[in-house]
Amino acid sequence: MQETGLRPDQPGSGFVEEDPYNGRDPRFALTIAVNGDTWPNWNTTPLQTYQGGANGEPLSGDIPTGYYLKKYCQGTLITATSGSSTAYHTWITFRLGEFYLNYAEAVLNYLGNPYATNEEFTMTAAEALNKTRVRAGMPTVPAGLSNEEFMEKYKNERMVELAFEGHRFWDIRRWKEGDKHFSSIDEMKIILNADGTYTYNRQTVQRQWDDKMYFFPIPQSERVKNPNLTQNPGW
């Protein structure tokens, strides 16, 4: 949440279930298209991702989570068959936000404190983390956090800042938190009420996770070539 800097599921965050998209981190609106958005830019009809809406279930090709993706999609492009347009698209391999976040995690692990510096690393992990937050219009992380508390802030910041940029797959495996994040996914089922209001029902869908997925299996053909190779656990 933008005002408090807390996750919506944390006490005192200011999140209101009946108005779930108000007061959020500005990056939410830049990344995700929600019910009622007029997006892409040329679209004058608000998105209807509620159940039975023009862009929601049970239509073929709809999105079961209740959200569409904005990031990496150019809203100015017209995709309709009549009046379609084209534009150059740049694929980002490594950007400044990732640099600051990578630095924050590395310095935290190296110096052992989110507020520590030395002659070689003159920027603290907290200062590096705050670079992306300040740029987005979010409050800085509080001072005096423990390493564990800072790491939780860092993981959430990395999830938000680098959303849909191909990092989450590897981050979760690196932190060994697959059972925490990959065993289920939340979907938003929106109901349009008779009085024009909406009811937001969060639905958890179970997914399959096994700890062996932290590593890829070594192909049997490679093990035949080198008998010293032992298979990764679980495969």
Cβ neighbour number for residue 128 with a 10 Å cutoff: 22
**What is residue 33's three-state secondary structure?**
strand
- Asked if omega into 233 is within 30° of 0 (cis), the reply is no
pLDDT per residue, tens digit, the chain (235 aa), is 999 999 999 999 999 999 999 999 999 999 999 999 998 888 889 999 999 999 999 988 888 899 999 998 888 888 777 788 888 888 888 999 999 999 999 999 999 999 999 999 999 999 999 999 999 999 999 999 999 999 999 999 999 999 999 999 999 999 999 999 999 999 999 999 999 999 999 999 999 999 999 999 999 999 999 999 999 999 9
Query: What does the block give as tokens for 148?
Result: 């564990």
Gap between the Cα atoms of 173 and 48, Å rounded: 35
Query: What does the block give as tokens for 31?
Result: 């990344």
User: Is 160 in contact with 27 (CB distance < 8 Å)?
Assistant: yes
Q: pTM value? A: 0.90
Residue 103's alpha-carbon distances to 13, 110, 129, 169, 186, in angstroms, are 28, 10, 9, 19, 31
